[in-house]
Structures are given as C-alpha cells and as structure tokens.
C-alpha cells in the first residue's frame, strides 16, 4: 500500500472531543485511508501521534514492526492472522467456569466490532467521569473483510491524556528495555519508594478505576499492569485498551457479578505473573512480594468500604499460593508457573464475601450469586488436583467459602 492507493473508509461513530493540536477531520481521514501513511511510532497495531497536550491513539490502522532500518508500518491485513496464545477465565450463561481464548485477530488490524467496543466504552466512561482514554471515533474499512469472524476491519481513535504510551508495567520490566524515556519515568517512580511500594500505590488507584468500569455497566478481559495507562505528569492511572470491554447486560444474569470478580482477579493474577517474570526478579526482593501489598492495595481500591483486615483476609489464600511459587522461582531459577485455575478461584472466592456485601448497598454493581453456588460451579473447573491445592491454601476457611462442597470427603 502506498500513498497513491488509498483505502476506502466509512464513519461509524464520532465524538466532539478535541485536544490542542489534534488533526482536522480531513487530516485524520487522510491517515486512516492511507492517503498519507501514518507515522510508525510504536511496535504493534496502534499508531501513536503526540500532540501539544496528550496523544492521538489510532488502533487498527496498520502493523508497525522493527527492522535493522528502523520502524516501518504496513496497512492492516485482512488475510493473515495474529495467532494469539492468550487464555482467559470466563463463564457461560449458567455461571459455569471455563477457559476462553482471545479469538482470531487480523495482522495489524482491528475487527470492526472491537473498534466499536473501544469507542462505545470510552463514551460510557467519559459520561461518568471515570479516568480513561477519550472517544474520538470509529471507522470501518468496507473493502477489508476478515473471514474468520465474517466482519470487516475497523479502526478506533481515542485521545490519551499523556503524550507517551506509558503503562504501569514499567515497574515490572528492565528500565532500559524499551522506548526512549523509559529510564527517566522509571527513576521518577522509584525516587522515594521501592518498586513494590509504587506498584501498590498505582494498584490502589487502578482498583478504583476498575470499580468505575463496572459501575458504568462494562467488564473487560485484559487485566494487569500492561493494560493500566500511566500518566507520569499527574502520577495517575487511567483505563486503556477498551476494545476488550463488553456491556454487562450482554452477559447472562448469573454471570454478571462473576465477570466483575474475574476482572479484579485478572488484575491481581497478571500483576503476579509479571513480577514472576525472569526479567523482573532482579529488581524485586522476595520479601516485598511475600507481604502481598500490591494485591492488598488493588482490592482496597476496588472495595474502599472494607477494612484493611477484611482485605487481608480476602487476599491471603492467593498471596500464600503465589509467594510460595515466587520464592521457589527466585531461589532455584527454575521455570515455575502458577496454575491459572487455582489462582483465579482463590482470588475470586476470596473477594466474593466482600463483593456480596458491597454490591448489596451499591445499586450499581450486579447482584452476586450465593457462595455455595459459585463454589459448586468452580469445582469441575478446578479438577481433582486443583481442588486439593485450593483446600491446602492458608486462610481459605477464613474467606468464608468453606462449604459442604469444600469439606466433603470424596
């Protein structure tokens, strides 16, 4: 694709949101249609254009890759797929637990349904004042059809509050590994605190952001610090990557509260997974993670109504499970990994008593299911081995999930 062979585009939705230095509608149309090739600013399917204040984020406009000659961008490809290996915990219409994958994704592109999800979620969050990227618009490429999902490609455009695409996982990666400026931002973050302490403070903020997402009637599939936007000027977090958001009303009623709890668990599980990565351990002392402070802070941000001792009780089973694996990983330098099923069940069941109490007085969160019903649905998902691991976790009884199903001898 060259500047002489533009793509046809069709506007699906647009917002009056503007930002100092934003492109005019005609200039933006030139970028989306490839009349003028978008600038290759970051590896991936997102074009990032710094403005006088903030940045324009264009998702699905093409694939940026790195070579010996530097960064280059190519148009979205409706034929070749990016083969994802991401697996998520999900629920069916009955509230039964299952593993789901991310589905097929076009190389350098965005399915039109995902582009609309990003835009619609940004609109909802803006109306309620939840910190997130701001909606600009969604477009369709009518001539680029993605056969695996029988839909056309699309593109979503949002505005980010900061000119650089920083995420909170900057605390979990080597500070010199990445785009220019990473070291400067990292050093600012840890100037007066350890990485674990700073991650805990950001997790506290992000727990509140996630609560806001659920209270506007949305849930999402991509949790963890890599999907927490970070604004170093304001030292603040905000919601990004909204294309995985789904309206809670589209889920069957038994699954709605579980989707919210799964989002919270996803943030904690992925935060733990990042910290266990080989590249992160050189900077994290084992005792920092053993204290479980980032997990406590995440839950405290989501449940501000709950006392710290209640939060500690909810987090204790997962913190114990994770810390044991993390210490063995550090001490032996062996490839040790968490069991996704055990980790998510420990996190969700630990949080369920808090969620049940808070949702009853909220009026904005989906109604919870009875604890015994949730546990019975989780048992087949865990399997015999996972069930034995859950039973052996310290503090599991104190989360008030011990039921006849948990203690019954098989």
Is there a domain that residue 120 lies in? yes
Q: What is the mean pLDDT of each run of 10 residues along the chain (410 residues)?
A: 74 87 90 92 85 92 86 89 75 88 86 96 96 96 95 96 86 77 87 85 95 96 86 90 94 92 95 73 60 85 96 91 81 78 94 93 89 90 92 74 41
Q: Which two tokens stand for residue 388?
A: 């034995």
Domain final residue, candidates 160, 195, 218: 160
Instruction: Count CA atoms within 13 Å of residue 397 on its CB side.
Output: 3
Distance CA 190, CA 201 (A): 11
Do the Cβ atoms of 389 and 324 come closer than 8 Å?
no
344-373: b (≥16 Cβ within 10 Å) or e: bbbbbbbbbbbbbebbeeeeebbebbebee
274-312 pLDDT per residue, tens = 877 655 555 666 566 655 688 999 999 999 999 999 999
| Whether residue 104 is found in the same domain as residue 176 | no
179-212: b (≥16 Cβ within 10 Å) or e: eeebeebbeebbeeeebbbbbbbbbbbbbbbbbb
Kindly list the distances between the CA atom of residue 357 and the CA atoms of 4, 68, 304, 366, 396, in Å, as whole numbers in the listed order: 60, 56, 12, 12, 19
> What is the pLDDT at residue 1?
45
Is there a domain that residue 104 lies in? yes
| Whether residue 130 is found in the same domain as residue 199 | no
Count of domains for the chain? 2
Neighbouring residues of 108: CB distance < 8 A, sequence distance ≥ 6: 45, 60, 62, 63, 64, 74, 75, 76, 77
Q: Which domain holds residue 341?
A: 168-407
Do the Cβ atoms of 347 and 369 come closer than 8 Å?
no
Global pTM value: 0.92
Domain final residue, candidates 111, 128, 160: 160
Burial class (CB in 10 A: 0-12, 13-18, 19+), 166: buried
Query: Shortest CA distance to 87 belongs to which of 103, 97, 100?
Result: 100
225-256 pLDDT per residue, tens = 888 999 988 889 999 999 999 999 999 988 99
Is there a domain that residue 50 lies in? yes
| Whether residue 224 is found in the same domain as residue 277 | yes
| Whether residue 86 is found in the same domain as residue 189 | no
Distance CA 251, CA 302 (A): 21
Distance CA 167, CA 172 (A): 10
| Whether residue 21 is found in the same domain as residue 155 | yes
Helix runs in 19-167, H state only: 25-32, 112-128
Is there a domain that residue 1 lies in? no
CB atoms within 10 A of CB 399: 22
């Amino acid at each position: 694709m060259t500047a002489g062979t533009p793509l046809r585009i069709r506007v699906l939705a647009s917002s009056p949101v503007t930002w100092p230095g934003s492109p005019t509608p005609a200039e933006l149309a030139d970028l989306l249609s490839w009349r003028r090739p978008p600038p290759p600013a970051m590896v991936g399917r997102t074009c990032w254009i710094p403005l006088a204040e903030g940045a324009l984020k264009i998702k699905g406009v093409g694939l940026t890759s790195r070579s010996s000659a530097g960064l280059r961008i190519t148009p979205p490809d409706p034929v070749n797929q990016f083969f994802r290996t991401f697996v998520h915990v999900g629920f069916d219409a009955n509230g039964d637990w299952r593993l789901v994958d991310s589905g097929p994704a076009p190389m350098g592109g965005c399915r039109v349904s995902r582009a609309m999800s990003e835009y619609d979620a940004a609109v909802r969050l803006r109306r309620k004042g939840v910190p997130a990227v701001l909606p600009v618009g969604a477009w369709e490429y009518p001539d680029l059809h993605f056969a695996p999902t029988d839909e056309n490609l699309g593109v979503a455009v949002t505005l980010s509050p900061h000119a650089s695409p920083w995420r909170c996982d900057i605390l979990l990666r080597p500070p010199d590994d990445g785009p220019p400026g990473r070291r400067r931002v990292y050093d600012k973050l840890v100037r007066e605190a350890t990485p674990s302490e700073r991650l805990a403070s950001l997790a506290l903020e992000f727990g509140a952001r996630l609560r806001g997402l659920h209270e506007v009637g949305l849930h999402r599939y991509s949790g963890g610090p890599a999907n927490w936007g970070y604004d170093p000027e304001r030292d603040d977090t905000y919601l990004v990557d909204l294309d995985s958001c789904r309206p809670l009303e589209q889920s069957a009623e038994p699954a709605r509260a579980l989707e919210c709890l799964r989002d919270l668990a996803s943030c904690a599980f992925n935060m733990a997974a990042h910290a266990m990565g080989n590249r992160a351990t050189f900077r994290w002392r084992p005792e920092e993670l053993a204290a479980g402070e980032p997990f406590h802070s995440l839950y405290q941000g989501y449940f501000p109504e709950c006392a710290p001792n209640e939060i500690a009780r909810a987090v204790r089973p997962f913190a114990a499970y994770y810390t044991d694996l993390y210490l063995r990983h550090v001490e032996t330098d062996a490839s040790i990994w968490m069991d996704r099923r055990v980790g998510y069940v420990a996190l969700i069941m630990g949080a369920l008593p808090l969620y049940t109490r808070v949702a009853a007085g909220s009026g904005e969160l989906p109604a919870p299911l009875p604890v015994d019903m949730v546990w019975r649905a989780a048992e087949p998902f865990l399997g015999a081995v996972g069930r034995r691991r859950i039973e052996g976790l310290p503090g599991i009884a104190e989360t008030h999930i011990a039921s006849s199903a948990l203690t019954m001898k098989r």
